Amino acid sequence: MAAQIGKRPAATSRQSRRLIDPSGAVMSRYLLFCNDLLRLDDNPLLSLPRDSDAALAVCILPQRQFSPNRASRRRRQLQLGLFREFQQRLAVLDIPLLLRAGDPAVILPQLLQQYQLERVVAAEPTAPEEYRWTSGLNWQWLDANSLLADELRPDLNTLPRSFTAFRQQREPELRVLAPQQAQPSILALNKILSVAGAIALSDLPQPEPDQPIAEALAQQLPEHFAQWQQHSEPAVLARFTQYLQQHLSHYKLSRNALIGADFASFLSVPLSRGTLSARRAWQLIREHEQEYGQNESSYWLRFELLWREYFRHLQRKHPLVFFRHGGLGLHQVPGTAGEAGEALLRWQQGRTGLPFIDANMQLLAQTGWMSNRGRQNVASYLMFQLGCDWRHGAAWFEQQLLDYDVASNWGNWAYIAGALYSAPRSFNALKQAVEYDSAARFTTLLLGPPETGNHRHQPYEQPDWPAPQAWQWQQYLQQLKAE
């Protein structure tokens, strides 16, 4: 039975490979596919088997999705590191975790047959190609990475067209399932080992040389980059708890910053990699509000989690629309379908001539990260000013971003392009630079001097500026002068 996107039928019927344990109880035999659930907390896969059941856990590095043209070396290293860290944490609890690299559509059925397992149990994905991994297999989805799971999930047939409508529909009586604690009774399920014998614990690629953050950036902002590199479950929970106590109160004001140690929650990587659940993040925010009171900042952080949720369900409703230039076909989309060329290369390398854009793109190349404000501006610039197909930008973000998430990344690009329900959104990058980097600290950090005033954003205003204005600046200059 082929997997149907957005639907959650019961596991497909097949002849059961059930065993009877010595007590006479029927044993179920699961293959737990843990790729997006690299955590012990709120991991329903670990809570599924009963004491009489047997389970084998596996993580697979998909060769296609993590090929060099789709994932940077830095992103591959992050995924490999989190797999191995999760394997070590499970080993302490006597849970074996098999690590493999290859095509999940090939490896999963091989494991089912080799170890006489009944079905695959996995976190429900959003991407069409991930649904295909289990096509034809006996499988069970658990929507473990969404806020609105099980009976709370929206009906895709009546999913609102806009985020605002989605938020207004869900917020008044929004309920989120309580996160699950790992149950000690199921944390010793290693019966497959005794049945099947020794298992090679890893055939993952050998670690690649580290891709260091640019030395100048690391030296000037050591606390900032230290935060970015803490993505394992214990580090994430500790840091987020500290963030709520010390920095949540200014999130509404600081969230549009471009760089720094505590201006954002930095939850995007752990949420995308599955080292933290959205439900746990939501619960921690609500507990903080109950103790210290709700304010605009705490509400706005939950608001961002709802945006993520909206894109997850929207992609399940329109699985292929996120990858079409025209999307739903409701609006005129900027740029030319398939258009790339030299303009795209300059954008990728941070050589467009517009300092604010170039600084953000060079930050992405050097760190695998970019602020939300930066992402909106570079996306708008690529499609509206350079005339490129927005999908090239989404694909570049997929390759570079450490927090790459299929629905959030492609959904946000399609949203700005007007490929979904809303009209296209264009940003004036010069105006944004003056507003959000008024002292040119961010731009100067990435591009170097000049450091005075807005000359970093508009260097042609200097008396001795030797070169003509870049053609890309003209539209922004006209808009600034008109305001």
Phi-psi category of 440—alpha, beta or left, where left has phi over 0 and alpha has psi -120 to 50?
left
Q: Answer yes or no: do 136 and 6 share one domain.
A: yes
Please check the confidence at residue 400 and state whether its pLDDT lies above 90: yes
User: For 149-177, what is the mean pLDDT?
Assistant: 83
On whether residue 290 sits in a domain, the answer given is: yes
User: Is 191 inside a domain boundary?
Assistant: no
User: Which residue, of 116, 144, 172, is where some domain finishes?
Assistant: 144
User: Looking at residues 382-386, what average pLDDT do you find?
Assistant: 95
User: Residue 293 class from Cβ within 10 Å (0-12 exposed, 13-18 middle, 19+ buried)?
Assistant: exposed
Residues 135 and 3 in one domain: yes
Pair 96, 220 in one domain: no
Alpha-carbon span 365 to 396, nearest angstrom: 10
- The residue segments making up the domain with residue 368 are 341-482
pLDDT at 414: 98
For 81-127, what is each residue's pLDDT tens digit?
Answer: 999 999 999 888 777 889 999 999 999 999 999 888 889 999 999 99
**266 lies in the same domain as 222:** yes
Q: Give the CA-trace dihedral at 442, 79, 38, 316, to 10 degrees.
A: 80
Q: Do 256 and 306 belong to one domain?
A: yes
**Which pLDDT belongs to residue 4?**
43
- Please check whether residue 109 lies inside any domain of the structure: yes
Residues 351 and 299 placed together within one structural domain of the fold: no
- Mean pLDDT, rounded, for 201-216: 61
- Same-domain status, 349 and 307: no
Whether 136 is covered by a domain: the verdict is yes
User: What per-residue string of b and e applies to 110-134 under the rule 16 or more CB within 10 Å gives b?
Assistant: ebbeebebbbbbbbbbbbbebbebb
Residues 305 and 345 in one domain: no
Question: What is the predicted pLDDT for the residue at 198?
Answer: 38
Q: Look at residue 328 and tell me if it is in a domain.
A: no
Q: In this structure, what is the dihedral angle of CA atoms 150, 151, 152, 156, given to the nearest 10 degrees?
A: 80
Report the pLDDT value the prediction gives residue 189, as an integer from 0 to 100: 44
381 vs 352: CA distance, rounded Å? 10
- Across 310-336, average pLDDT: 95
Residue predicted with more confidence, 73 or 460: 73
Rounded to whole angstroms, the Cα distance separating 337 from 392 reads: 10
Per the CB < 8 A criterion, the answer to whether 125 and 316 are in contact is no
Does some domain include residue 333? no
Rounded Cα distance between 69 and 75, Å, is 12
Q: Does 193 score more than 50 pLDDT? A: no
pLDDT digits (tens, 9 = 90+) for 409-423: 999 999 999 999 999
Phi, psi of 86 (to 5 degrees): -65, -40
Which of 117, 144, 171 is at the close of a domain? 144
pTM of the entire predicted model: 0.88
Q: What is the pLDDT of residue 26?
A: 54
In a domain, 192, yes or no: no
Residue 131 CA, distance from chain mean position? 17
**454 — pLDDT class (breaks 50, 70, 90):** low
- For residue 476, what is the domain's CATH number? 1.10.579.10
**Domains in the chain: how many in total?**
3
Same domain, 72 and 126: yes
| pLDDT higher than 90, residue 302 | yes
pLDDT at 291 over 60: yes
Residue 355 scores a pLDDT above 60: yes
Identify whether the C-beta of residue 28 lies closer than 8 Å to the C-beta of residue 50: yes
On the CB side of 464, how many CA atoms lie within 13 Å of its CA?
A: 1
Residue 219: pLDDT over 70: no
What CATH number is associated with residue 270?
Answer: 1.25.40.80
Q: How far is CA 444 from CA 382, 424, 431, 476, 477, in A?
A: 22, 30, 17, 20, 21
What does the angle CA 443 – CA 446 – CA 447 come to, to the nearest 5 degrees? 80
Q: Tell me, what's the pLDDT at 348?
A: 96
CATH number at residue 116: 3.40.50.620
> Using 50, 70 and 90 to split pLDDT, how confident is the model at 180?
confident
Mean pLDDT of 446-458: 73
Task: Give domain status of residue 454, yes or no.
Answer: yes
H or E element that contains 27 = strand 26-27
129 and 14 in a common domain: yes
Average pLDDT over residues 354-366: 94
pLDDT band at 42 (very low <50, low <70, confident <90, very high): very high
Residue 30 pLDDT grade (very low, low, confident, very high; cuts 50, 70, 90): confident
Average pLDDT, the chain: 83
Please, which pLDDT band fits residue 212 given cuts at 50, 70 and 90?
low
HEC secondary structure over 439-467: CCHHHHHHHCCCCCHHHHCCHHHCCCCCC
**How large a percentage of the chain has pLDDT more than 70?**
81
Q: How confident is the model at residue 449 (pLDDT cuts 50, 70, 90)?
A: confident
